[in-house]
Every structure is written in C-alpha cells, then in structure tokens.
Amino acid sequence: MRRAARWAPVVVLGGLLIALYADVVPSMFVRWWEDEGYSHGFLVVPLAGWLAWRQRAALAGAPAERDNRGLILVCLAAASYVIGKLGAEFFLTRMSLVFMLAGLIWTFRGWGWLKRLAFPLLLLASTVPLPVLVYNRLAGPLQLVASAASTELAQAIGISVYRDGNIIHLATTTLGVAEACSGLRSISSLAVAALLLCYLELRRPLTRVTLVLMALPIAVLFNVIRVAGTAMLSERDPLMGTGFYHGFSGWLIFLCGFGLLWLAARTLKVLFETRLVGGGTQ
C-alpha cells in the first residue's frame, strides 16, 4: 500500500502529461521525419534517455526533497504551452514540454536531481525545431554567405563562375543555393554533436561553451566547401550537382565537420583541462 501510494502521484502526473501533449509530441516526430535538418531527433531522444538512465546510481544516492522553487518552471511551461496553443506556435508548445519536465523534477525531487539530469534535458531541447520566422531569418544570410564564399573559392581554383545573389552561374549550368544548402542544417546537427562532445570530453564550463560556439564556423566552413565542390563537379557534369552526390556530400561534410569538432575538443582538453603535476601530465 505504501509503495502504491508513493507511485500514485507519478502515475497521475504522467497521465496528465500524456493527455496534455498527446498531439504535440507526434507532430514533432512528423517534423523530424519530413525535415532532414532535425532527423537527428530520432537518435537524440533515446540517447538522452540512456544518459539519464546512467545517472540512476547517483540519483539513488542523492537526497530527494521537494523544492517549491520548481513551480516557477512549471508555471512558465504552462504559460508557454497556452501561448503556443493560442498563437499556433509549435515551438512554444514543444519547448514547454522540456520546461515542464525540468520543473517537475525540480519540484518533486530537488535541485540535485535537476543538476544531474540537466544535460539529458538540454539534449531534448536541442531536438525542438526552430520557429519558422527565426529559421527564415537565419537561412537567408547563410545562403548568401555560402554562395559568395563558394564562388570566391571556385574562382581561386580557376573555374569560370560568377554569382547573382544566391545563384551561381557556371559555363555549362546554373546552381541555386537553396535554404537546404544554407548550412543551417549542418549547424543544428554539429551543435548537438558539440553538446555530446562537451559531455564526454570536457569538464570546464568555459571550454564547453567554446566548443559549442566553434560548431558555427566549422559548419559554415564545410558547407562552403560542399557548395564549391558541387560547383566544380557541375562544371564537368551538370548532373553531379543533383541526385546521389548532393545527398552523399551532405553526409560526408557532416562527418568531416564532426571530425574537426572532435579534434577541437581534444585540443581544448589538452590545453586547458590537463593539469601538469611535477612537470608531467596527469
């Protein structure tokens, strides 16, 4: 009876959350399926659950006590949910789920539990697609950056090419740097990869923030290389700018970006997190 009484609030809250977000979570899954830029969500969610499960021993030993300060987050999550529903803003309703989980953990289990589960919750937040308005505001300038830099790179190699906005004109064909080629997808994917590397490799807040910030220029750099490479291959064969190569190059560029990001994480760890004891490395 005591055990049943202890789990009763959990069952009730779980049922309320399922009822409240019954349409929000499936719609986000659909977005992940339709948008390659957020398809990593299918991998990140189970990964976040696994990382939380790894903390079970530490959580079992941590004091679990109620903290009413967590109700602030719960209220913010509820307000975000209501505003999102009234304004048909999916970002607010989806993000409110993360805040709601954080607020409930803080309220019923305490600040110590929330600190240990902060990273899995942060991973969950990274899977929420950006608002359309924000996405379009970021994609436009990134398209121009990618087209301008890739044109300069192609011209430096000796290819006859000129740019008109986000349109790259070659001798035999014309390439348009669309939103999908703006590099925003690479930025979101590499940002998640940077968070994982921070968790696995780094310990100091400053080095972690530095690595996450490095994801932006790395993603932009390799996206420029991708667009320039597409232009060079399209100069020889216009069909090389579409189809299999276009999709394969995206995966290849992500792997190269992740490799450079991993190298940056290792470098930051050696330079700023390795303690020198008695002239030797420890």
pLDDT digit string (tens) for the chain, length 282 residues: 555 556 666 677 778 888 889 889 999 999 888 887 788 889 899 999 999 998 888 888 778 788 899 999 999 999 999 999 998 888 999 999 999 999 999 998 888 899 889 999 999 999 998 888 888 788 778 888 888 888 888 778 777 777 777 777 776 677 766 655 667 778 888 888 999 999 888 888 889 999 999 998 898 888 888 887 777 777 666 666 565 566 676 778 788 889 999 999 999 988 888 753 344 443
- 141 and 235 co-located in one domain: yes
Nearest Cα residue to 61 out of 121, 113, 115, 9: 113
- 142 and 262 co-located in one domain: yes
CA distance 49 to 85: 27
- 14 and 114 co-located in one domain: yes
Whole domain around residue 158: which residue ranges? 133-281
| Beta bridge partner(s), residue 216 | none
- 29 and 121 co-located in one domain: yes
CA distance 256 to 250: 10
- 243 and 148 co-located in one domain: yes
- 97 and 193 co-located in one domain: no
- 111 and 147 co-located in one domain: no
Could you say which of 94, 113, 129 is where a domain stops?
A: 129
Edge to edge, the sheet with strand 174-176 lists 161-164, 167-170, 174-176
- 87 and 221 co-located in one domain: no
Could you say which of 102, 129, 156 is where a domain stops?
A: 129
- 149 and 259 co-located in one domain: yes
Could you say which of 129, 147, 167 is where a domain stops?
A: 129
